[in-house]
Amino acid sequence: MDSLPLFVTPLLDGLSWAVMLILIATGLTLIFGFLEVVNFAHGAYYMLGGYFVFVIVDAGFGFFAGVAGALVAVGLLGVLTERLLLKPSYDFGPITQLLIMVGVALVIEGAVIYIWGEQAKGVSTPALLDGPVNLLGTTYPLYRLFLVALGVIVIGAVWLFLERTRYGLVIRASLTDKEMARAFGNDIPTIYTLVFAGGVLIAALAGALMTPIRGIGPSTGATVLLQAFIVVVVGGLGSFRGSVVAGLGLGMLDILVARYISFRLSGITIIVVLLIVLLIRPRGLFGVKGVMEE
């Protein structure tokens, strides 16, 4: 029982990051699974979530207003992106759409540097959630526990949406048989927009929530993107379950390796996992077979 406190902190750190990572990865994997778009700008939307929170808090409106504002703003941006850029270009193929999203990532990154400069920004933990909590013999920041709780709720909500709503059914069906699913609805275009906007919105939520912990800077998008990609590929492109499991595993692995083995290895461990997975089981944990031979 004595050594428990030693494990608690890194484990919970890992868990709080893993949960955020799952949020990001879920959006990315669903966008790929349903729209067949590799959203290269997913990290950029995450980053925007952080910047919007910063702006709103800086203007004096408080953290929760900031998060809400970030969600609305990025949600709108998501709708705009899908309607204006993706809808007209579905016929060009997934690689072209990937490239378009590369362009979007560039524009967002440029805009961020242009408006806010190269220096990282920070936001302080909201007073309501600040402070330590006594837990299993040690103290732990309340905010991080809040992250875990909120993250689990949102993940649960997404799961419910996928399992219990009609839209969710179409999305899930589409992952196994695209043509068939298309045949079942005339509001498919709406679902397209919904999935994209929803996906980036959740990423922005994670970005907003992580800002008090890690701050936000112009290179945050790129770093997060890479990690999210790894989770998505390891979990299986298009698989919600996959991104949850892989997000949990990789998120915890990354933090724990950094704490217990070597700080230098943080970030690299998951890339190694990615390479191994890509070479041995490219479809990922829960991916659909044959999907590599696209």
Find the largest Cα–Cα distance for the chain.
61
- Give the contacts of 162 (CB within 8 A, at least 6 positions apart): 168, 171, 172, 240
Q: Which two tokens stand for residue 207?
A: 């970005």
Q: How far is the CB of 129 from other proteins (least distance, A)?
A: 33
Q: Which is nearer to other proteins, 38 or 244 (CB)?
A: 38
Q: How far is the CB of 230 from other proteins (least distance, A)?
A: 7
- Give the contacts of 151 (CB within 8 A, at least 6 positions apart): 16, 19, 20, 22, 23, 206, 209
Q: Which is nearer to other proteins, 16 or 29 (CB)?
A: 29
Q: Which is nearer to other proteins, 4 or 272 (CB)?
A: 272
Q: Which is nearer to other proteins, 44 or 202 (CB)?
A: 44
Q: Which is nearer to other proteins, 77 or 108 (CB)?
A: 108
Q: How far is the CB of 28 from other proteins (least distance, A)?
A: 12
Closest CA to 199 of 58, 82, 108: 82
Angle at alpha carbon of residue 51, lines to 84 and 239, rounded to 5°: 60
Place of tokens 């809808």: 87
According to DSSP, residue 285 is labeled S
Asked if residue 59 lies in contact with residue 51, where contact means CB atoms within 8 angstroms, the answer is no
Q: How far is the CB of 179 from other proteins (least distance, A)?
A: 19
According to DSSP, residue 236 is labeled -
Closest CA to 125 of 74, 69, 57: 57
Q: How far is the CB of 111 from other proteins (least distance, A)?
A: 6
Q: How far is the CB of 186 from other proteins (least distance, A)?
A: 26
Calculate the alpha carbon distances from 17 to 247, 261, 280, 291 in Å.
9, 18, 27, 29
**DSSP labels for 119-155?**
S-B--PPPGGG-SEEEETTEEEEHHHHHHHHHHHHHH
Q: Which is nearer to other proteins, 111 or 169 (CB)?
A: 111
| Binding site residues, other proteins, CB under 8 A | 38, 85, 88-89, 92, 94-96, 98-100, 102-111, 113-114, 117, 222, 226, 229-230, 233, 264, 267-268, 271-272, 274-275, 278-279, 282, 292-294
Q: How far is the CB of 242 from other proteins (least distance, A)?
A: 15
Q: Which is nearer to other proteins, 145 or 226 (CB)?
A: 226
